[in-house]
C-alpha cells in the first residue's frame, strides 16, 4: 500500500474511521468483500455513516491455518474460535470436525492470542501463519480455506489521495423510489454509456422500512465525461446519490501469495 508506513491496529471497524477522522492516522484499511464469504456489510453501512472518501483498494490472497498450543493434536480440539468471515471461508473443513463447537469472535489474531494467553488445551483458532509465529502456536492443519484462490478486497479511506495515479474506479450509493422498473432505470444510466458495473450491493435503508440503499462500483473515474453525465442523469430521478470515492483500482498482485488471514485492519 504505502512502503514504510507505520501500522496501527484497531479493535473495531468503527475505530478505524475514528482514528482517521481525528488525525491519529493518515488513512484506514477496511475489508469490504471476500471471494468466498462475500461482503462485509458493516463496512458498507460505515462508508455511508462517515464522510471519509475511498482513496484506494487492495486485494490480498488469504490462507487460513488451524492453530493450537504446541503438542496438541486435532483429536484434542473441542472448540474452534475465529472471526465469522474466516469461519465462513473454511466451512467445508469445519464440517469434517465431529463434536467440535464453532465459536465466532471479533478477530482471527485475537482468537489465536486468547488461546496462547489462556493456555487453552482443548481449543484452536483459525488464523494466519504470522499469528502462529507471534503467539507461539502450532498449525494442526494448513491452507484450510475452501478455495485456493481465497482473496479479500480491502478499501483504503482517508482525506487525501494515496498517490498521483489517476483514478479509474468509482464507488457510489443511491436510493430509488419504490416503483416498477426503478432499479432498471437506475442502472440503465450506466449501461447506456458503456460504463461497466463491477459490484452491486443492496443494504436496508434504516430510515425507511423495506426500502434499500444501492451500492455500486463503476469501472470509470468520477470525472470521466461519460461517468459525469451518467451521475447527473441518475440525480434527475434518484432521491439520493452520493459518490463514496473515485480511486485507482487494484492491480493484480505478483509473486508469492501474502499468507495471512482476515484480521481487524490497521
Judge if 35 and 21 occupy the same domain. Answer: yes
- Asked if residue 2 is part of any domain, the answer here is no
Per-residue confidence (pLDDT) for residue 117, from 0 to 100? 97
- Asked if residue 106 is part of any domain, the answer here is yes
Per-residue confidence (pLDDT) for residue 54, from 0 to 100? 98
- Asked if residue 8 is part of any domain, the answer here is no
- Asked if residue 1 is part of any domain, the answer here is no
Per-residue confidence (pLDDT) for residue 136, from 0 to 100? 97
- Among 129, 149, 169, the domain boundary falls at 149
- Asked if residue 256 is part of any domain, the answer here is no
Per-residue confidence (pLDDT) for residue 261, from 0 to 100? 31
Judge if 93 and 200 occupy the same domain. Answer: no
Judge whether 152 counts as a catalytic residue: yes
- Domain CATH for 51: 3.30.70.260
Give me the catalytic one of 17, 108, 152, 174: 152
Please compute, for residue 57, the number of CA atoms within 13 A of its CA located in the half-sphere on the CB side.
24
Number of domains observed in the structure of the chain: 2
Name the nearest CA neighbour of 246 among 157, 176, 186.
157
Judge if 127 and 193 occupy the same domain. Answer: no
Name the nearest CA neighbour of 14 among 1, 24, 28.
28
- Among 134, 149, 164, the domain boundary falls at 149
Judge if 162 and 234 occupy the same domain. Answer: yes
Judge if 57 and 102 occupy the same domain. Answer: no
Q: pTM for this one?
A: 0.83
Per-residue confidence (pLDDT) for residue 262, from 0 to 100? 32
Q: Are 153 and 247 in contact (CB under 8 A)?
A: no
Judge if 40 and 17 occupy the same domain. Answer: yes
User: What does the alpha-carbon distance between residue 79 and residue 119 come to, in Å, rounded to a whole number?
Assistant: 13
- Asked if residue 259 is part of any domain, the answer here is no
Per-residue confidence (pLDDT) for residue 216, from 0 to 100? 98
- Asked if residue 262 is part of any domain, the answer here is no
Judge if 118 and 172 occupy the same domain. Answer: no
Judge if 57 and 160 occupy the same domain. Answer: yes
Judge if 94 and 38 occupy the same domain. Answer: no
- Among 130, 149, 168, the domain boundary falls at 149
Name the nearest CA neighbour of 218 among 197, 242, 246, 189.
197
- Domain CATH for 70: 3.40.190.10
DSSP 59-82: EEEB--EEEE-TT--GGG--EEEE
Give me the catalytic one of 17, 44, 135, 154: 154
Per-residue confidence (pLDDT) for residue 258, from 0 to 100? 32
Q: Which residues of the chain have pLDDT under 70?
A: 1-4, 251-266
- Asked if residue 261 is part of any domain, the answer here is no
The range of the structural domain enclosing residue 160 comes to 13-61+156-247
Judge whether 205 counts as a catalytic residue: no
Q: Is the dihedral of CA 45, 165, 199, 181 positive or negative?
A: positive
Judge if 53 and 178 occupy the same domain. Answer: yes
Q: In what order do the strands lie in the sheet with 197-204?
A: 197-204, 212-218, 169-175, 240-247
Per-residue confidence (pLDDT) for residue 125, from 0 to 100? 98
Please compute, for residue 11, the number of CA atoms within 13 A of its CA located in the half-sphere on the CB side.
0
Judge if 42 and 111 occupy the same domain. Answer: no
Residue with cell 504470522: 130
Judge if 224 and 104 occupy the same domain. Answer: no
Amino acid at each position: 500500500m504505502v512502503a514504510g508506513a507505520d501500522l496501527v491496529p484497531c479493535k473495531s471497524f468503527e475505530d478505524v474511521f475514528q482514528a482517521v477522522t481525528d488525525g491519529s492516522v493518515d488513512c484506514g484499511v477496511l475489508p469490504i468483500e471476500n471471494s468466498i464469504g462475500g461482503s462485509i456489510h458493516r463496512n458498507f453501512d460505515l462508508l455511508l455513516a462517515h464522510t471519509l472518501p475511498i482513496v484506494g483498494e487492495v486485494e490480498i490472497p488469504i490462507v487460513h491455518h488451524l492453530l493450537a498450543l504446541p503438542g496438541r493434536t486435532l483429536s484434542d480440539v473441542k472448540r474452534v474460535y475465529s472471526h465469522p468471515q474466516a469461519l465462513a471461508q473454511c466451512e467445508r473443513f469445519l464440517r469434517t470436525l465431529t463434536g467440535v463447537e464453532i465459536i465466532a469472535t471479533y478477530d482471527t489474531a485475537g482468537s489465536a492470542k486468547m488461546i496462547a494467553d489462556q493456555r487453552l488445551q482443548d481449543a484452536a483458532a483459525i488464523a494466519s501463519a504470522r499469528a502462529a509465529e507471534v503467539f507461539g502456536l502450532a498449525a494442526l492443519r494448513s491452507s484450510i480455506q475452501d478455495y485456493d484462490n481465497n482473496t479479500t478486497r480491502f478499501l483504503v479511506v482517508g482525506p487525501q489521495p494515496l498517490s498521483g495515479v489517476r483514478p479509474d474506479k468509482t464507488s457510489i450509493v443511491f436510493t430509488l423510489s419504490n416503483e416498477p422498473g426503478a432499479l432498471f432505470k437506475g442502472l440503465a444510466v450506466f449501461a447506456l454509456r458503456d460504463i461497466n458495473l463491477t459490484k452491486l450491493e443492496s443494504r436496508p435503508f434504516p430510515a425507511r422500512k423495506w426500502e434499500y440503499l444501492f451500492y455500486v462500483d463503476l469501472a470509470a473515474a468520477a470525472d470521466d465525461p461519460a461517468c459525469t453525465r451518467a451521475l447527473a442523469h441518475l440525480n434527475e430521478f434518484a432521491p439520493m446519490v452520493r459518490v463514496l470515492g473515485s480511486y485507482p483500482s487494484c492491480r493484480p498482485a505478483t509473486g508469492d501469495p501474502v499468507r495471512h488471514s482476515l484480521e481487524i485492519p490497521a
